[in-house]
Amino acid sequence: MRLGVYGGSFDPPHNGHLALCLLARELLQLDRIIISVSNNPFKHGRGAHDSDRKHMAELLSAEINLTGVSSEVCGWELEKRTPSYTVDLLKYIHTLYPSQHITLLLGEDSYRELPLWKEPGTVMDLCEIAVFGRENRSAANVANISPYAGSVRFIAFDLPVSSTEIRELVARGEPVEGLVPSSIRHYIAEHSLYRS
């Protein structure tokens, strides 16, 4: 089985997350995508409660599953109640799926920070990495960002939408149609998330 692991704060999940997962499924021939909602120690200023972020990630997973791929949400990082590191998540995933092929799905910005991660060499030992980056940047240039480029695949992907932007739009009462799946947009409205 080929597993894709996609971690993030998902505050909120948006169409960029959805598009990345669907593209990864096709290009990497993934059998399952595990969406892990994180407690990233380096990300501050989140707006939604952990339970809301997990529920929205489940809505994202449901959107992915509408297209036929088997996607699931992993809440292990949230349940730890301590700062979350990718290396620990990957070790945990290996206990659930021993001997399975794992590909970590990363945006270019996250890949740039890989040398600063906890145990980056171990991360590379535990999985392959697929980096989804801007189309106008060559794979060779992106590879120079990190010394850990051995088992990394670079995929052109540029969908300029961010969770920060969506939170700011919602706080100002502006529409977010076209930026988030409708199920997540309705959840945000029903639970009055990101309102100032």
| pLDDT single digits (tens) 33-79 | 999 999 755 555 558 999 999 999 999 999 999 988 789 999 999 99
Instruction: Report if residue 165 sits inside a domain.
Output: yes
Say which residues have a Cβ less than 8 Å from residue 175's Cβ, sequence separation at least 6.
169
Total domains, the chain: 1
Which pTM does this prediction carry? 0.90
Query: Is residue 26 domain-resident?
Result: yes
The pLDDT value given to residue 7? 96
Strand partners, 32: 3, 70
Domain residues for the domain of 37 are 2-190
**Residue 68 included in any domain:** yes
In a domain, 195, yes or no: no
Q: Flag whether 177 is in a domain.
A: yes
User: In the predicted model, what is the mean pLDDT of residues 129-137?
Assistant: 79
196 inside domain? no
In a domain? residue 173? yes
Work out the pLDDT band at 80, boundaries 50, 70, 90: confident
Q: How confident is the model at residue 134 (pLDDT cuts 50, 70, 90)?
A: confident
Question: Contact, 150 vs 124, CB < 8 A?
Answer: yes
pLDDT band per the 50, 70, 90 thresholds, residue 81: confident
Greatest Cα pair distance in the chain:
48
- pLDDT tens digits, 106-119: 998 889 999 999 99
- β-bridge mates for residue 35, sequence order: 6, 73
Query: What are 148-176's pLDDT values in tens digits?
Result: 556 899 999 988 899 999 999 999 999 99
Rounded to the nearest integer, the mean pLDDT of the chain is 89
Question: Is 114 domain-assigned?
Answer: yes
Output the DSSP codes for 132-159.
EE-TTS-HHHHHTT-S--TTEEEEE---
Q: Tell me, what CATH number does 11's domain have? A: 3.40.50.620
